[in-house]
Structure 1
């Protein structure tokens, strides 16, 4: 009896000590965040992966908070400071819709933010645009919610954009393919102002109209970079283009046929892996949101190697330039 009691006591002590060791780190971070939030609202600035972050840091405009330059929480580093005297919290979320959605929700839950400015690179799906351009989409769709059906399977009523794999057989002729077909579902969208646990079907999530309109006015004629160095230059000057439709899914698109399908069925101009999650999560939390994506490649329409390896840094630099100019010139960001 005494031995059993002693074993249980030791086990409880071990478990308790582990629990105590785990709590203070989070409590300390949350305590810092509470103090940061007393400074007033901030702009959340969110990007995806290291090359984009490198371009952001290279601008040199982020001035760290004098006391709390960053907060580490859940494996991410939230950097606190100012850009052109506007208070911001900056974070790199990581690749993919899950990382983007989780990080955006953390910004909404933990920090006093007025909205999210999201930047990064994307594949170009619009033949009227060029690599190096920056798109500021008005609408973003999550085109990764699929029903993968048999060749003779029936789609549900609200499905759209049916992709029949057999249509892409080479050589063409017999279009029956064991991979069948894919039908696209709208996203289940939960709105802060809606009824709890009652989602709505949503394909096109609209970025914040106020921010979009200000961006289109403030950045009119703003010049981007057309050369990364003496050897990497664009064939024509890069432009900022407004009002396109963007597609997001956990898919790196490097396939010309799938690119063509997305364009013909959804009329998208760019493809990426995060924007839809950032926009939908922001809207769910009643946060304003805008997206700046530099076009780094042709999403598989090119001949030879994907251009992202050559022009990705230039696209990231232009996305950063547009983002920073938006923050610098937006009068409502004097917080």
Structure 2
């Protein structure tokens, strides 16, 4: 008993785990990016910055357009995005999440440089791989009527989950916050997008880019550059844009009941480009255009 009592006292004396402590009590809007070009387009807009380091990531608090914000990088791809979305919610006091970044265009009506603000996000590789049986496929679990069409052996299965306000059910997509989407519609008409940026590797656009609010975005841990699969995503998922993080961020936000919205500017056409993939040529421009809209959006947020 003495040994047990001593052990319990020793454990009680240990410092509280870092994950249990909030580092900042000010309610803030997370302005999330995935990687350096997206961060670079926004970091100079953060006034009076204060930097925190957690797990090798930088979290920059300050103000943007007079509003309390936290700028961060999620890291590229789905696991990084989900993990670090939960991390920022655990360690800071967060009102909402606003994602700014680049993406590949799926909707044939969209062009490089356009900024897209989808109303919902889906994970297109949350699927079952079916068994080939003669000329057909046998899926290992039943597919319901709401499932998007398959692509060969890949049959969308969605994900079952709920949150504190909703029971567990199957989701094929997760919606962004409706009030934030309405605000994005109001802001969209007041923002001028760029055709060129000052960057040695950047190209200029031959057209004026536009802002489009609504439709579906899709995400997976895949750098997609395939015209046939792009057509599938457009027809089966009604996707307008694809990336590698947003659906993960929106799903984690849903679980935590945190209002979220995503702004993505097209750096390429995900396999629909006339020649080679254009991401390297246009990622700086796309990052800047998304940042322009996000700054205006943050400025329009209620105090």
Shorter-chain-normalised TM-score: which range?
A: 0.7 to 0.9
Asked if 1:114 corresponds to 2:114, the answer is: no
Of 194, 214, 223, the residue aligned with 1:225 is 194
Equivalent residue number for residue 64 of structure 1: 48
Equivalent residue number for residue 143 of structure 2: 157
Equivalent residue number for residue 83 of structure 2: 102
Q: Aligned partners of 1:329 and 1:193: how far apart in 2?
A: 28
Q: Cα offset for 1:227?
A: 1.3
Match of 1:280, SS?
helix
Match of 2:225, SS?
coil
Q: Aligned partners of 1:320 and 1:260: how far apart in 2?
A: 28
Match of 1:237, SS?
coil
- Map residues 45-194 of structure 1 onto 2, 5 A cutoff: 45-57=31-43, 60-65=44-49, 69-152=50-133, 153-155=137-139, 156-158=142-144, 159-164=147-152, 181-194=153-166
TM-score, normalised to structure 1, is 0.79
Of 266, 281, 290, the residue aligned with 2:261 is 290
Moved over 4 A (4+): none
Bigger share in helix: 1
Structure 2 unmatched ranges of 5 or more: 1-9
Q: Aligned partners of 1:243 and 1:137: how far apart in 2?
A: 4
Native 8 Å contact 1:130 1:238 kept in 2: yes
Structure 1 unmatched ranges of 5 or more: 1-15, 165-180
Match of 2:149, SS?
strand
Native 8 Å contact 1:189 1:280 kept in 2: no
Q: Aligned partners of 2:187 and 2:270: how far apart in 1?
A: 29
Bigger share in strand: 2
Equivalent residue number for residue 302 of structure 1: 273
CA shift in 2, pair 1:30/1:75, >3 Å: farther
Equivalent residue number for residue 312 of structure 1: 283
Q: Cα offset for 1:327?
A: 0.4
Q: Cα offset for 1:141?
A: 0.6
Q: Aligned partners of 1:215 and 1:298: how far apart in 2?
A: 23
Of 199, 208, 212, the residue aligned with 2:177 is 208
RMSD: 2.2
Equivalent residue number for residue 322 of structure 1: 293
Q: Cα offset for 1:211?
A: 0.6
Q: Cα offset for 1:151?
A: 2.3
